């Protein structure tokens, strides 16, 4: 297997394939909208997404701006995702809608599941492959390598993997695409990209 692309978004900035980005930064509270505008994307669904889905969407679009995934067919790509805090921010906003703002908000409720973001990515790419979302205490590269191996063995040709978390004003998004080829990737390699 080999890593085709990676994207890391954290307080340190936005990194694409290990390179810090000057054009796309994370300096303002509105950084998601800024990156969306700078990338000249035209995808109105973006505005409806919650913070978690927006982050995953942008991370993926950034990877796609430098790598092509067009050679994969619609069943080929498995989406393997995890985070620590599930849909924490949106959960709190949904609770607020019925405890303080008058009535439970349906547009918030539908985002109170972490795997909605994998749905958004599948819709964007029209990818019908396997999807799974785990809750873990920390990003665990060995765990992802095991999962990738499972899905390759079951027939997936690539895995879009992600650790996308948002809670208490701490946002983190690490995405990488792995293609099935001879050879292995190591936990150290993933750790290196993750730590940026």
Partner 1 sequence: MGRKAKLANIVSELYLSYGGLITPLGDTATENFENMRLGKSGVHKVSGSGFNKEDWPLGKINSLTSENRYTELLEKICEALIENVGIEILSADRTLIIISSTKADITALPSDTFASTREILKNKWNPAHAPLIISNACISGVMAINTAADYINGDKYDTVVTIGIDALSDFIVYGFQSLFALSDQSSKPFDKNRTGISIGEAAGAIVISNKKPENGAFCVNYLGGSSSNDANHISGPSRTGEGLFRSINKTAERSSINIQDIDFISAHGTGTMYNDEMESIAFDRLSLNSVPVNSLKGYFGHTLGAAGIIEVISTMLMIEHGLLLKSPGFEEQGTTKKMNVLSENVEKEVQLALKTASGFGGGNASLILKKSL
Task: Give contact residues for partner 1 (rule: CB under 8 A).
Answer: 74-75, 79, 84-86, 88, 91-92, 94-95, 98, 103-106, 109-120, 122-123, 125-137, 146-147, 149-150, 153-155
Nearer to partner 1, 13 or 105 (CB): 105
Q: Minimal distance in Å, beta carbon 183 to partner 1?
A: 11
Nearer to partner 1, 14 or 51 (CB): 51
Q: What is the DSSP letter of 173?
A: E
What is the torsion angle, in degrees rounded to the nearest 10, for the CA atoms of residue 25, residue 28, residue 29 and residue 32? -30
Q: Minimal distance in Å, beta carbon 133 to partner 1?
A: 5
Distances (CA, A) of 186 to 58, 76, 156: 26, 22, 19
Contact 183, 195 (CB under 8 A): no
Angle at 175 between CA 67 and CA 88, to 5 degrees: 145
Q: Minimal distance in Å, beta carbon 150 to partner 1?
A: 4
Q: Minimal distance in Å, beta carbon 106 to partner 1?
A: 4
CA dihedral (133, 94, 173, 123) positive or negative: positive
| Tokens describing residue 179 | 């293609």
What is the torsion angle, in degrees rounded to the nearest 10, for the CA atoms of residue 149, residue 178, residue 51 and residue 90? -10
Nearer to partner 1, 16 or 53 (CB): 53
Q: Minimal distance in Å, beta carbon 38 to partner 1?
A: 25
Nearer to partner 1, 25 or 149 (CB): 149
Nearer to partner 1, 15 or 111 (CB): 111
Contact 16, 66 (CB under 8 A): yes
Q: Minimal distance in Å, beta carbon 160 to partner 1?
A: 12
Nearer to partner 1, 30 or 181 (CB): 181
Please tell me the distance from the alpha carbon of residue 118 to that of residue 99, in angstroms, as a whole number.
29
């Amino acid at each position: 297997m080999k890593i085709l692309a990676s994207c890391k978004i954290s307080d340190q900035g936005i990194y694409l394939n290990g390179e810090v980005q000057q054009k796309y930064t994370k300096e303002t509270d509105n950084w998601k909208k800024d990156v969306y505008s700078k990338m000249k994307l035209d995808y109105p669904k973006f505005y409806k997404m919650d913070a978690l889905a927006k982050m995953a969407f942008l991370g993926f679009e950034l990877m796609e701006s430098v790598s092509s995934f067009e050679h994969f067919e619609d069943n080929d790509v498995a989406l393997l995702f995890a985070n620590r805090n599930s849909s924490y921010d949106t959960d709190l906003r949904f609770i607020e809608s019925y405890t303080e703002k008058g009535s439970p908000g349906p547009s918030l409720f539908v985002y109170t599941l972490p795997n909605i973001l994998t749905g958004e990515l599948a819709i964007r790419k029209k990818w019908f492959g396997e999807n799974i979302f785990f809750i873990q205490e920390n990003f665990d590269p060995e765990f992802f390598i095991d999962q990738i191996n499972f899905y390759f063995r079951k027939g997936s040709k690539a895995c879009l993997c992600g650790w996308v978390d948002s809670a208490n004003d701490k946002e983190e998004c690490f995405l990488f695409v792995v293609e099935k080829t001879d050879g292995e990737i190591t936990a150290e390699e993933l750790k290196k990209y993750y730590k940026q």
